[in-house]
Chain A
Amino acid sequence: METTQITLSQAELAEKQRRQNERLKAMVGFMILIAGVMYGLTLTHL
């Protein structure tokens, strides 16, 4: 399989890292919210 290598500048690398962290935080936040909802629903339905 052919692969292409992308070379990023320092600024792009820093931006990529920042966006990855930002997305990760948003995803973890959403998952915690859903987990909280599931936990709460379990408690209210028991």
Chain B
Amino acid sequence: MSETTAQVSASGRIRFKADRVGTTAKDWVQLLKPRVISLVVFTGAAGMIMAPGHLSLFEAAVAILCICMASGAAGAINMWYDRDIDAVMQRTITRPIPGGRIPEHEALAYGVGLSCLSVCLMWMATNALAAGILAFSIFFYAVIYTMWLKRSTPQNIVIGGAAGAFPPMIGWAAATGHMAVLPIVMFGIVFFWTPPHFWSLSLYACKDYGRAGIPMLPVVKGARHTRWNIFVYTLVLLAISLIPSMLHLCGWLYTATALVLGLGFVLCAIRVLREPQDENGVSLAGDKAARISFRFSLAYLFLLFCGLLADHMLQGWI
């Protein structure tokens, strides 16, 4: 075998070139951004379980599948559009399109096809409201965020975060056919959670975004400004997360969970703010606090929604 057709990786496995032997099924799965799907499915399922409506187990499973497919489809369209910037960022250079494993037009067709299929199936399985919000969330992520906001404003994550916040509303609408205060508050929680979550990451992935010309907050306004923004958003998030308690939509278990987690996130933000840094706000400690804050934010959303579900089940049990 010649050296130009295959390479041997460090682990001793032979790496074949996709343009000669074709793509793997894993490449097509990677195009769907599986990690994002897991988060979206979890918050969507939470909205569905919290809703007072009735869905059969089968319909609920189909609705979750549709949320899964829609999220993946939006991710595939995002990867298609962002193929130029993905190719210059270390974090994304190995993605299927910049890696040369999937042709760009096939990725677009895959994303658009899955989008249509997910919306049609959601409509058939549940109702027009759920299908409508699902379609809007795909449009919001693929067009409003990816094609417009991401490259034009440092507030891209703030407004674009709405795309990832829709699943609880979709789950609720699928189960009931109408909207209520609680799913809108759940939307608000994910919406205000997104900026501090993503800005924590962008603090130490800042060089990558700068190289790609993406106007992320640390690139445009600097690290110090970003640190303050993270802190302010964690305070707002703490307040928003307590709205269900103030409106008596949930019990003490959720209130305690939201308080502990919210204060924990604020503490992480304070550590990000007080981290040793130079005059521009760039960390002198390897962005350790930002890394901790990013990891905590992932746990925060998961545990907060777990608290909401546990509280809901406890109330039903009592």
Chain A residues with a Cβ under 8 A of chain B: 6, 8-9, 11-12, 15-16, 19-20, 22-23, 25-26, 33-34, 37, 40-41, 44-45
Give every chain B residue within 8 A of A26 (Cβ-Cβ).
25, 28
Listed by A's residue number, 18 A-B pairs whose Cβ atoms lie within 8 Å are A8-B5, A11-B14, A11-B16, A12-B20, A12-B21, A15-B21, A20-B22, A23-B22, A23-B23, A23-B24, A26-B25, A34-B121, A37-B62, A40-B58, A40-B62, A41-B62, A41-B121, A45-B124
Closest to B58 in A: A40
Within the complex, what minimum Cβ distance (angstroms) separates B88 from chain A? 28
Known: A11-B14, A44-B58. 12 other contacts (CB 8 A): A8-B5, A9-B5, A11-B6, A12-B5, A12-B16, A15-B14, A15-B21, A19-B25, A23-B24, A25-B25, A34-B117, A34-B121
A8 and B56 within 8 A (CB): no
Main secondary structure of the interface of B (DSSP, over half): helix
Which of A6, A11, A25 is within 8 Å of B1, CB to CB? A11
Contacting residues, chain A, for B6 (C-beta < 8 A): 11-12
Contact status A19-B1, CB under 8 Å:
no
- What residues of A have a CB within 8 angstroms of the CB of B121 in the complex? 34, 37, 41
Those 5 A-B pairs whose CB atoms lie nearest each other, nearest first: A26-B25, A16-B21, A15-B21, A19-B22, A9-B1
Q: Which of A25, A33, A37, A45 is the most central at the interface, judged by chain B CB atoms within 10 Å of its CB?
A: A37
How far is the CB of B126 from the nearest CB of chain A, in Å?
A: 10
From A15, A44, A45, contact of B16 by CB (8 A): A15
| Chain A: CB-nearest residue to B56 | A44
Interface 1/0s, chain B 25-38, versus A by CB < 8 A?
Answer: 10010000000000
Asked if A16 contacts B58 (CB within 8 A), the reply is no
